[in-house]
Amino acid sequence: MQIALGADMRYATPDCKLSIMEAKWGLIPDMSASVTLRELVRIDVAKELTMTGRIISGTEAAHLGLVTRCMEDPMAEAKKVANEIASRSPDSVAASKKLFQETWVAEEQRCLDLETSLQRKLLYSWNQVAAAGRNFGVNAPYIKKKHLDD
Distance of CA 57 to the CA centre of its chain: 20
Single out the residue of 26, 34, 37 nearest to residue 4, CA to CA. 37
- In terms of pTM, does the model score above 0.95? no
Q: Are 142 and 133 in contact (CB under 8 A)?
A: no
pLDDT digits (tens), the chain, 150 positions:
788 888 999 999 999 999 999 999 999 888 888 888 888 999 999 999 999 999 999 999 999 999 999 999 999 999 999 999 999 999 999 999 999 999 988 999 999 999 999 999 999 999 999 999 999 999 999 998 766 665
